[in-house]
Amino acid sequence: MENFNRLNDLYFKKLLGDKKRKNLTLSFLHGVLNKDDKNYFTDISFLDKDNEPLTLDGKLSKLDIRADLNDGTQVDIEVQVCPFKLMAERSLYYWSKMYSEQLEKGAEYKKLKKAIAINLLAFDYLEDEQDWHNIYNLLNVKSHKKLTDHIEIHFLELPKFTLKDMRKIRASEAWLAYFSGKYSKEELEEIAMTTPAIKEAVEFEDTFLQDKIERRAYEQREKAIRDYYSYMNAFKEEGLQQGLEQGLQQGLQQGLQQGMQKGLYQQAIQTAKNMLKDKVDIKLISKYTNLSVEEIKKINEE
């Protein structure tokens, strides 16, 4: 399928979030975390941690893939396709939830295990960094000594990624090449010679696309996202215009804020109506419009 989006959350979870293909997830983690034959994970258990939106201002409590590794390490793999300025804050928030949820009430701190957050981004986020893979820990600002190895946050930026040598490719580079969509099936086959898991990923992709139900679900998800951002952009322009007009009378800053809020809210309602017509699940509509489930049900009734 031309222009297949391998970062589509539905497909991504099917590929790396299913126990049937945990060998692929382990391959991805071993590559990103730079594990070798003497220091590697032997097993992984997936945890279903998808939650509904907490508020209407976009603070979604949602983890793409959450899992426990055989040594107790906690890992969260999140995919972000659209630019988001507060990725660091959001990743730290998810990391803190993952870390704190390890302890039951009254449990001892010594039971806490390392928690790793991995952010796979389809946009440039770290403007001052040239590398596509950046890792953050908790360090002393003077000595740069690590306080603890319990916190580790990774940012993988796909636009910065380019293969330098197809013959000397690391596992992390193989997986980034796959998700980037920049390389042909023939090139991926060559890459798979050094990282066999990529061959299995390509084979699963073909099976996924041949399944009419899975492909339909994928296409609906892609359409919903495209429609949402298209409408949001249109109403953003309208909201700015309204804000400018109101700003002449009430003050530019106040007018811009009111115009934007009104335009965006109207757009959210229109988007919800269009998605309801396409029979998109109400919970998914709530996620992409930031409207509450109750509001969407009311719109549906009307």
pLDDT band at 55, cuts 50/70/90?
very low
**Long-range contacts of the stretch 168-176 (C-beta < 8 A, 24+):** 169/194, 169/195, 170/31, 171/27, 171/28, 171/30, 171/31, 171/195, 171/197, 172/31, 172/32, 172/34, 172/133, 173/31, 174/31, 174/198, 175/27, 175/28, 175/31, 175/32, 176/132
**Within 10 Å of residue 156's Cβ, how many Cβ atoms?**
23
| pLDDT score for 56 | 32
CA distance 286 to 272: 8
Distance between CA atoms of residues 102 and 256, nearest Å: 44
Which has the closest alpha carbon to 79: 53, 41, 117, 115? 117
- What percent of the chain has a predicted confidence (pLDDT) above 90? 43
- Residue 50 pLDDT greater than 60, yes or no: no
Between residues 242 and 85, which one has the greater pLDDT?
85
* Residue whose C-alpha is closest to residue 76's, from 22, 46, 118: 118
Of residues 121 and 10, more confidence is placed in: 121
> Does residue 58 have a pLDDT over 50?
no
The pLDDT of 4-22, averaged and rounded, is: 90
DSSP state letter for 193: T
Contact 287/56 with Cβ under 8 angstroms?
no
Q: Looking at residue 235, what is its pLDDT?
A: 63
Neighbours of 123 (CB within 10 A): 13
- Give the pLDDT of residue 9: 83
| Each residue's pLDDT tens digit, 268-286 | 777 778 788 877 888 887 7
Residue with tokens 């099976």: 207
pLDDT of residue 142: 95
Average pLDDT over residues 44-67: 57
Residue 178 clears pLDDT 90, i.e. is over it = yes
- Residue 52's pLDDT band, with cuts at 50, 70 and 90, is very low
- Percentage above 70 pLDDT, the chain: 81
| Residue range 26-54: mean pLDDT, rounded | 78
- Paired tokens of 201: 């990923």
CA distance 131 to 172: 13
103 versus 233: the higher-pLDDT residue is 103
Give the residue with greater pLDDT, 59 vs 40: 40
Q: Which residue has the higher pLDDT, 218 or 250?
A: 218
pLDDT at 247 over 60: no
SS3 state at 28: helix
